[in-house]
Structure 1
């Protein structure tokens, strides 16, 4: 795989997604924060600080999730449906470069959007004179990015394997299940049924444990305490390794596809 060629392809993916009016979402984020700030102040003045901070992070996560899933699942299928994949493969571009560039390009878009939304959130927090843990907030945003890149890898892998519609539904399902895998294991133990317990353990091993990459509650309610660096590093490496494994799987599936 040629790194320079992959970067050029990723840049093209980035520009293509940006041209599809994705950046209008930044304006939408600013509008919903303005509305939420006013509404929260009217109906929950005593707990405004924590609720608004929680809303800022939750809105970032939801917007990024929608982009990662709906665009990620269609990145490869769109090329196949338009038959542009034949021209790309005819060129000296390997299939691994093709998949990797799609992942890096969309991850770049998500990174830019998160940076913009973070800046907007910080402006609102400052104007509203809300006290918040700055370091914990930024760490939570960083882990939102890691979670979204992992979801992007899932979306691309499923998009290579099946149609965009089915891949979208499956990616949403994996996201929902991935946030409760630890609860599923605990539930399996409570049933005291060996078969159910083995099933929940298998789900825990197969599905990504997205709760490791969710530091929203720590940023909102942990307040001044800085999270343990070793734990954060371990969770970050977990997300990166899982994404790498999914991309490797997507490449293997794509190598066996015939056009």
Structure 2
């Protein structure tokens, strides 16, 4: 299949490395430092403000802040990856070479996903360190798995950000990506809303939205992981397959959108 698409892994790797270095320079490390600051403030103040429930609040706060900050990285950097190449006109030097637009989009996605893997790993280490310093007990395995599923969720968000960044401005792409991110966590509720409305049009529209939008909530293991609870293995495997399939489809759309742009 890859041969049919004429994909070259060396060219994809070169684009990914370039995207990785560019994203690291794009103030990504400041997000990690900000996360450390938030954890330090929470560790120092929650003990005195939470009435004895500071350990549970710190567990929830840490995973929640990690998810929000890493999503901000994915949207902020992902929507600008292709647009910056176009604005700087560096894309004009890349595309005339034996580099397909599919390789360009895939390389950008791999590069930013690698940046997010570094960011999530760093924030997870910081999270465990502050939990240990505060004397808070935590389920190591479930929380590690929740971080891995967070990375899969972010890979989907990056693909979506690349789609919007391929055919519109960075600001509009950020707003659209954020909207899809929020709606993706409430896609199941959207279907229920259609059932409550109880009209044929509402049911059809909400089900269509559910099919189009990513079901990001299936990757949210954080709420149960803090209690040491995880879904069954078959359900986890289904989520991984769903995430991989959705990324492939969205990257195909991103490639098509990028191919329609004139330079």
- TM-score (normalised: structure 1): 0.95
Secondary structure of the residue that 2:223 maps to in structure 1? Answer: helix
1:180 and 1:188 map into 2 onto residues whose CA distance is: 13
Query: Once superposed, which parts of structure 1, at least 4 consecutive aligned residues long, lie more than 6 Å away?
Result: none
Pick the aligned partner of 2:251 from 244, 247, 255: 247
Report what 1:224 is aligned to.
228
15-24 or 164-173, which moves further after superposition? 15-24
Report what 2:166 is aligned to.
160
Report what 1:42 is aligned to.
48
Report what 1:92 is aligned to.
98
Q: Per-residue displacement from partner, 1:151-175 (whole Å, max 9, x unpaired)?
A: 0000001110211111111111111
Q: CA deviation at 1:5?
A: 1.5
1:225 and 1:159 map into 2 onto residues whose CA distance is: 37
1:196 and 1:20 map into 2 onto residues whose CA distance is: 42
2:242 is the alignment partner of 1:234: no
Alpha carbons 2:19, 2:111 under 8 Å: kept: yes
1:27 and 1:169 map into 2 onto residues whose CA distance is: 25
CA-based RMSD of the aligned residues comes to 1.2
Alpha carbons 2:184, 2:213 under 8 Å: kept: yes
Report what 1:81 is aligned to.
87
Secondary structure of the residue that 2:137 maps to in structure 1? Answer: coil
2:36 and 2:260 map into 1 onto residues whose CA distance is: 44
Q: CA deviation at 1:224?
A: 3.3
1:233 and 1:41 map into 2 onto residues whose CA distance is: 38
Where do 5+ consecutive residues of structure 1 fail to align? none
Report what 2:148 is aligned to.
142
Secondary structure of the residue that 2:52 maps to in structure 1? Answer: helix
2:131 and 2:53 map into 1 onto residues whose CA distance is: 14
Alpha carbons 1:72, 1:156 under 8 Å: kept: yes
1:254 and 1:191 map into 2 onto residues whose CA distance is: 38
The 5-angstrom pairing of residues 111-126 of structure 1 reads: 111-126=117-132
Q: Per-residue displacement from partner, 1:170-200 (whole Å, max 9, x unpaired)?
A: 1111111111111111121122222111111
1:195 and 1:15 map into 2 onto residues whose CA distance is: 47
1:26 and 1:244 map into 2 onto residues whose CA distance is: 28
Pick the aligned partner of 2:58 from 48, 52, 62: 52
Where do 5+ consecutive residues of structure 2 fail to align? 1-6
Tell me the matched-pair count.
257
2:98 and 2:205 map into 1 onto residues whose CA distance is: 45
Secondary structure of the residue that 2:77 maps to in structure 1? Answer: helix
The 5-angstrom pairing of residues 167-178 of structure 1 reads: 167-178=173-184
Secondary structure of the residue that 2:228 maps to in structure 1? Answer: coil
15-24 or 237-246, which moves further after superposition? 15-24
Alpha carbons 2:221, 2:230 under 8 Å: kept: no
1:200 and 1:131 map into 2 onto residues whose CA distance is: 42
Report what 2:215 is aligned to.
209
1:4 and 1:147 map into 2 onto residues whose CA distance is: 26
Alpha carbons 1:135, 1:226 under 8 Å: kept: no
14-23 or 143-152, which moves further after superposition? 14-23
